[in-house]
Amino acid sequence: MSNLLTRRGLLKTSAIAGAGLAVPTIFTASSAAAYTNAPDGSGVTLGFNVPQTGAYADEGADELRAYHLAVEHLNGGGDGGMLSTFSSKTLDGTGILGNKVNFVTGDTQTKSDAARASAKSMIEKDGAVMITGGSSSGVAVAVQGLCQEAGVIFMAGLTHSNDTTGKDKKANGFRHFFNAYMSAAALAPVLAKLYGTDRNVYSLTADYTWGWTQQESIQAATEAMGWTTINDVRTPLAATDFSSYIAPVLNSGADVLVLNHYGGNMVNSLTNAVQFGLRDKMVNGKNFEIVVPLYSELMAKGAGANIAGIVGSQNWDWKLENQMGARYTGTNAFVQSFGAKYGFPPSQAAQTCYAQTLLYADAAQRAGTFNPCGIVEALEGFEFDGLGNGPTLYRAADHQCFKDVVVVRGKENPENEFDLVEIVEVTPTEQVTYAPDNPMFAGGALGQCNPGA
């Protein structure tokens, strides 16, 4: 592999020439090209910035697998994955715009500080033209801000907070993953169908920005269909034992518990709630229910048998095409490709990261340049299909993807270790679409695309 040798495309030719003559030349980076880290034709570097240490390390590892696969497919290796199902046909396995795709990886540590340091080193040291990845909204917003200032494109990985494409949206940043508002809008009708329209909700919310936007969205959506919110309790980020928050729930007269938690927090709070036997109780003459608005495969795995019967939403699920039909074409192609290489089905984080890489590559191909402004123009208002989520729109107003949302439920008797959730329903795009000036997304401005330099 020669990734390393061409790591710094910018320098290659000039450096060799310089070395030959041994005549020092001084120039500033900005004068060399029209935009940050413009490739010189021999290769283009993408930066995969994912959590490799800390609680989300496994999720990061899955994202990295998807990136490896995407790079392989873009460079013409492997079986091509979703390249064949993707509605845009500009990608032909010869890299991007004739440039071989190289990549660098970094560790966000799920800390906005470390994530920015890592992204900066990719931009400054390795000459990355695009940064992607991440497993939390705080990190996504921080790195998105950095990319905007540095003049590179940011293709968000897993980030679910409304803010990423709401008050913290940036012209250079794009999100394929769905958000808290969409989760809530997709869940509410299904919840009404399953549990009736007369329910009292008690919610536990992780006490940081993502948790708040999620809680706000869920409360608005469920109250719109007749549910009442009895109480919303904020739980500390560092909490591991949620017993003292869960114990008073039954006593409050609530008959639904909403857990606005993610990752380790969610695994623990759900485990605790099931331990307290909440799911076996009757309150107000109804079965007590638990809802986890944002699901992920790894969380389901971590919570084990506790997720049986618990409803939540996902951006994508690997069984989508088999169970919901050809609308979700691309899913099987990706699952086969991923499964053949790694031996297990991909997570939604992997799918979103793979899709983002393809979308970026395609946008560059269509724009005919890696210039961030060209890419922004190519992605804004872009309608595509065949990446597993059905017909999708990259909305120009906020750089958010609009597509169907999957409502899932934890399986009672999983057949194998990958078969943890069942698809309850797929909520169509129209139902989860909102106006760009929705109050939950208000404030902030996209600004203008920044090509750096």
Partner 1 sequence: MDTLLLQILNGLDKGSAYALIALGLTLIFGTLGVVNFAHGALFMLGSFCAVTFSRLLSLSSVKLDETKLDFLGNPTEIKTPYVEAWFGPETGAAIIDWAVPLSLLLAIPFMILVGFVMERGLIKHFYKRPHADQILVTFGLAIVLQEIIKAIFGANPIPTPAPDIFKGSFDFGLALGMDANKIIYPYWRMVYFSFSLVVIGAVFSFLQFTTFGMVVRAGMADRETVGLLGIDIDKRFTFMFGIAAAVAGVAGAMYTPINSPNYHMGMDFLVLSFVVVVVGGMGSLPGAVLAGFMLGILESFASMNWIKDIIPGIDQIIIYLVAIIILLTRPRGLMGRKGVMEE
Partner 2 sequence: MLGLNKKDTKFLLIVIALTMLTPFLTQPFAENSGLAQFNAGYPDLMQRFAIYGIFAIGFNILFGLTGYLSFGHAAFLGVGSYSAVWMMKLLTVNVIPGIILAIVVSGLFALVIGYVSLRRSGIYFSILTLALAQMSFNLAYSVLTPITNGETGLQLALDDPRILMAKNTSGSLPTTNLFGLSMNSSAKWEVLGHVFTFNVGYYFCGVIAVIAFYISLRIFRSPFGLMLRAVKTNQTRMSYTGLNARPYTLAAFVISGMYAGLAGGLLASMDPLAGAERMQWTASGEVVIMTILGGAGTLMGPVLGAGFIKYFENIFSKINDTVLHGWFNFLPDGLENLLVTLIHPFVGKGWHLTLGALFMLVVIFLPGGLMEGGQRITKWIKNKRSGGGDPNSNKTHAPKPTPHVAE
Binding residues vs partner 2 (CB under 8 A): 1-5, 7-8, 11-12, 14-16, 18-19, 22, 24-30, 52-53, 57, 60-61, 103-107, 111-114, 116-118, 120-121, 124-125, 136-138, 141-142, 145-146, 148-149, 163, 168, 171, 207-210, 234, 236-238, 444-445, 447-448, 450
Q: What is the Cα–Cα distance from 66 to 386, expressed in whole angstroms?
A: 17
Residue 57-96 contact track with partner 1, rule CB under 8 A, x = bound: xx--------------------------------------
Chain mean position to CA 155: 9
**Contact status: 414 vs partner 1 (CB under 8 A):** no
Q: Considering the complex, state which of residue 197 and residue 243 has its C-beta at the smaller distance from partner 1.
A: 243
329 φ/ψ sector (left φ>0, alpha ψ -120 to 50, else beta): beta
Q: Considering the complex, state which of residue 24 and residue 285 has its C-beta at the smaller distance from partner 2.
A: 24
Which residue shows structure tokens 């340049």?
A: 369
Stretch that binds partner 1, among 55-63, 96-104, 360-368, 378-386 (CB under 8 A): 55-63
The angle, 0 to 180 degrees and rounded to 10, between the axes of the packed helices 209-224 and 180-195 is 40
Q: How far is the CB of 167 from partner 2 (least distance, A)?
A: 9
Q: Considering the complex, state which of residue 308 and residue 397 has its C-beta at the smaller distance from partner 1.
A: 308
**Contact status: 418 vs partner 1 (CB under 8 A):** yes
Q: How far is the CB of 209 from partner 2 (least distance, A)?
A: 5
**Contact status: 308 vs partner 1 (CB under 8 A):** no
Residues 6+ apart with CB under 8 A from 135: 50, 51, 56, 59, 60, 63, 108, 110, 157, 158, 159, 349
**Contact status: 342 vs partner 1 (CB under 8 A):** no
Which residue shows structure tokens 């990706």?
A: 334
Q: What is the Cα–Cα distance from 273 to 373, expressed in whole angstroms?
A: 49
Q: DSSP assignment, residue 247?
A: T
Residue 261-300 contact track with partner 1, rule CB under 8 A, x = bound: ---x--xx--xx--xxx--xx-x--------------x--
Q: What is the Cα–Cα distance from 185 to 217, expressed in whole angstroms?
A: 8
Q: What is the Cα–Cα distance from 87 to 79, expressed in whole angstroms?
A: 17
With contacts defined by CB under 8 A, how many residues of the chain interact with partner 1? 51
CA-nearest of 390, 168, 199 to 290 is: 199
Stretch that binds partner 1, among 86-94, 162-170, 244-252, 372-380 (CB under 8 A): 244-252
